[in-house]
Structure 1
Amino acid sequence: MATSAAMLEQSFGQSPIPPRAGVGLKPEHYRDILDEAPDIGWFEIHAENYMGEGGTPHACLTAVRERYPLSLHGVGLSIGGASPLDTEHLARLRVLIDRYQPALFSEHLAWSSHDTVYLNDLLPLPYTAETLDRVCGHIDEVQDTLQRQMLLENPSTYVAFAETSMSEVAFLCEIVRRTGCGLLLDVNNVFVQATNHGFDARTYLDSFPVEHVREIHLGGHAEDEDDDGASLLIDDHGREVADPVWGLYAHALSRTGPVPTLIEWDNDVPPWPALFAEAKLADAAIVERRSNRAAV
């Protein structure tokens, strides 16, 4: 039986991670972080990178976890997949969560596997009643197994499905209502989709159920063109956050209030000072939002 939505909201509705900026924990930065103990709010890891038994990654993660709050971000559950969830993967995830007790756990509104084949990508879904039932069933299974609330991240997409029968925001709202999961609002994904599909990003955010947002992501994107020469953005996490995304983030904060915010930089990872500087920009935006709210 699925854990009740009300119970999940009551147990995990308030994030113990401070409403500050965090960054993804990268092996390139282990030494900088452990030597310098930088003033940063928290770190996030990709769960699949730490599913081995031990070694340097676990030794460093243990040392980081002793000093900082941790968020766990999954990329391999294939929440939207047509096949049943991989119970072995879910069991490994439970072991990792029990070991490090992350304050937040999140996954993607996407699919990435078919039968026994794992695809190294996060693929989009049609927003239909059938897909909704499948996603909700998978989220119930995850939350029952882990005994904690999962956050679901809005996707970046490059194609739209003709059979879609509801908006993405309506789809997410219904998932939250039925499962009690929380939401991870990826602001860069909103900007990427708005550009690729031709809608207004601020209008999307104005309709987003921000009362369920427990974490925000910011990241960089690459600029490309489609076959017709129209602008096409790729969510590649390979550079600094673009200026229009910072502006959209400020608008999001005006609705959510201060929320733990991650800087995602997973490809072409820069030296620690460059990543830390991006986190400071997010911290400054959060402080400014607090000041604006206090002045009202």
Structure 2
Amino acid sequence: MPLSAPLPHRAGLGLKPEHYAQILEHKPELGFFEVHAENYMGAGGPPHHYLEAISAHYPLSLHGVGLSIGGENPLDKEHLKRLRFLIEKYSPASFSEHLAWSTHDSGYFNDLLPLPYTQATLDQVCAHVSEVQDALGVRMLLENPSTYVLFEESTIDEIDFMAAIAQRTGCGLLLDVNNVMVSAVNHKRDPYAYIEAYPIDEVGEIHLAGYDETQDSAGERLLIDAHGSAIRPDVFELFVFTLKRTGPKPVLVEWDNDVPDFDTLYAESRRAQAALDAAAGPDVKAAQ
């Protein structure tokens, strides 16, 4: 079951219910809208009414947050069925999920939790990614995590771990630049070296967001992947650097908490689009 035409190499936004009416009235110039799959797993009602109307004008990116691909337990077959229903109904241009886990036995956690990078977890994640792609009939993108702890038992570098998943399963990668910055600062690593080493050829989409900042118990900087503010300047600079390696790609601006008015969100997308246009070169615009 193929996805629809690929996402355009333009800036998009996350679709929020409080903006449905304004989007349909004004139809702003945007490359696409992204929705969290779990918000549309009900049988009908206003969410589907508005999503059907908006998807008639914009490509969709379907982003999952509940598969727990990094978990030890088997994947939830009913969850996969609901995802397949959405893909069949809306024919999104992209489907993506997180390299994380959020379930244990019968417990569900409202967090995307990290996992150790070992051969055993690599095998488990690859098996889950392959199962997802087989069940949904589409190639998925897997997103790099934001992390706050490192595991002593890890034996594989995160970049090598992501590259191995893509090579073994045929999935693509979603490069979240904000996550790169959060993890790099928290673990005192170089975010630019991370981007330099990343398997860029596998990247199908880029995410941008704002982080929160606090201090850990030792007084060191601690960044939180909060999605509740504008893109931070250091993240935007890293994004511009990333585009030098990737060239134009579909770019999503995420703002999921303390959601502002649509005009504020739209201004963030215009910033990202300007960077995409610049990356395309003086005589070539980003793909429409």
- Per the TM alignment, residue 116 of structure 1 is displaced from its structure 2 partner at its CA by 1.5
Q: Partners of 1:177 and 1:17 in 2: how far apart?
A: 22
Which runs of 5 or more structure 1 residues have no equivalent in the other structure? 1-7
Match of 1:135 in 2: 125
Q: Partners of 1:292 and 1:149 in 2: how far apart?
A: 33
Question: For the Cα contact (< 8 Å) 1:15–1:214, is it kept in 2?
Answer: no
Match of 1:33 in 2: 23
The letter for the 2-side match of 1:210 is I
Tell me the TM-score normalised to structure 2 length. 0.97
Q: Partners of 2:283 and 2:216 in 1: how far apart?
A: 41
The letter for the 1-side match of 2:123 is D
The letter for the 2-side match of 1:188 is N
- Per the TM alignment, residue 292 of structure 1 is displaced from its structure 2 partner at its CA by 5.6
Residues 167-212 of structure 1 deviation map (CA, whole Å, 9 limit, x = unaligned): 0000011101100000000000000011000010000000000101
The letter for the 1-side match of 2:272 is A
In structure 2, the residue corresponding to 1:183 is in which secondary structure?
strand
Match of 2:40 in 1: 50
The letter for the 1-side match of 2:136 is L
Query: Number of aligned pairs?
Result: 284
Question: For the Cα contact (< 8 Å) 1:22–1:44, is it kept in 2?
Answer: yes
Match of 1:101 in 2: 91
Which runs of 5 or more structure 2 residues have no equivalent in the other structure? none
Q: Partners of 1:281 and 1:80 in 2: how far apart?
A: 33
Residues 62-112 of structure 1 deviation map (CA, whole Å, 9 limit, x = unaligned): 000000000000000000001000001111110011000100000000000
| Counterparts of residues 102-251 of structure 1 (less than 5 Å) | 102-251=92-241
Tell me the TM-score normalised to structure 1 length. 0.94
Q: Partners of 2:57 and 2:181 in 1: how far apart?
A: 34
Residues 234-264 of structure 1 deviation map (CA, whole Å, 9 limit, x = unaligned): 0000000000111000011001110000000
Q: Partners of 1:58 and 1:103 in 2: how far apart?
A: 17
The letter for the 2-side match of 1:63 is A
The letter for the 2-side match of 1:108 is H
In structure 2, the residue corresponding to 1:268 is in which secondary structure?
coil
The letter for the 2-side match of 1:275 is L
Is 1:88 the counterpart of 2:78 in the alignment? yes
Match of 2:52 in 1: 62
- Per the TM alignment, residue 293 of structure 1 is displaced from its structure 2 partner at its CA by 8.5
- Per the TM alignment, residue 118 of structure 1 is displaced from its structure 2 partner at its CA by 0.8
In structure 1, the residue corresponding to 2:156 is in which secondary structure?
coil
Q: Partners of 1:135 and 1:293 in 2: how far apart?
A: 42
The letter for the 2-side match of 1:133 is D
Q: Partners of 2:148 and 2:25 in 1: how far apart?
A: 41
Match of 2:269 in 1: 279
Q: Partners of 1:22 and 1:124 in 2: how far apart?
A: 27
In structure 2, the residue corresponding to 1:291 is in which secondary structure?
coil
Identity of aligned residues (%): 57
- Per the TM alignment, residue 115 of structure 1 is displaced from its structure 2 partner at its CA by 1.2
The letter for the 1-side match of 2:35 is I
Residues 263-284 of structure 1 deviation map (CA, whole Å, 9 limit, x = unaligned): 0000000000000000000000
* RMSD across aligned positions (CA): 1.4
Question: For the Cα contact (< 8 Å) 1:263–1:279, is it kept in 2?
Answer: yes
- Per the TM alignment, residue 122 of structure 1 is displaced from its structure 2 partner at its CA by 0.2
Match of 1:5 in 2: none
Residues 102-158 of structure 1 deviation map (CA, whole Å, 9 limit, x = unaligned): 000000000000012111100001000000000000001000011110100000000
Is 1:254 the counterpart of 2:240 in the alignment? no
